[in-house]
Structure 1
Amino acid sequence: MSVRVRRIYEPPEPEDGLRVLVDRLWPRGIAKEAARIDEWPKALTPSTELREWYHGGGSYEEFRGRYEAELAAPEAAELLDGLRGTARGQRVTLLTASKTPEQSHAQVLLELLTG
């Protein structure tokens, strides 16, 4: 299984494989054509309330737990399973605008997909 996380602001690379935007909001300053997004499963992104709570000073550990609970909802769980199946056959690149992807929802998704 080959899954990685990259910032959406980095130029697309041929080895990205399936490019999946995992942010709920479209990233500022990026043209949709230039982003080369293959999928944008908004049900896999943190809720607006959770995102605002985390950016308001919430801890990463608590964010992670709350986000995993959101991902257990039927629609999100189905999308996560589908993405996991896709990743078995090809490289998947999770794209985020987060300045610290290693402490973001994208990292949680990466670990759930590869763990």
Structure 2
Amino acid sequence: MISRSILASIASLAFCGAGLAASAQAPKDPLWNSYHLAQLPTEIQRVVASRCPAGPIAGHYFATYAPSTIVLHFEYLGCRNGVAAVCRDGQCLRQVYRDVGGHYRLERSFFAAAYQ
């Protein structure tokens, strides 16, 4: 009777270990997905969506945050039907949005060296 409970415990641990190993290999936050855009304020989401009518997707560092400021890094923007990066000569579009009275407004656009 004791040996059955020991075998059941060992089997249970083996199944748990296999499940943990499988979950560790699955990406928890895929590099390119629309979730990165869903966290942005609505007014910024609309601007980004206008660049990708087929549906935008974004990389991890598409948007960076500072107090009352959001910076968009367009080398990390993609469209479901192709690349949407706005780059030229190794530089990509950046847009800085600032919170003004509860709404984010475009403060400036410029080209900066693309991150590799």
Structure 2 length as normaliser, TM-score? 0.24
Over alpha carbons, which structure has the higher Rg?
Answer: 2
Give the strand-richer structure, 1 or 2. 2
Structure with more contact order per residue of length (Cα contacts < 8 Å, sep ≥ 6): 1
Structure 1 length as normaliser, TM-score? 0.24
Give the helix-richer structure, 1 or 2. 1
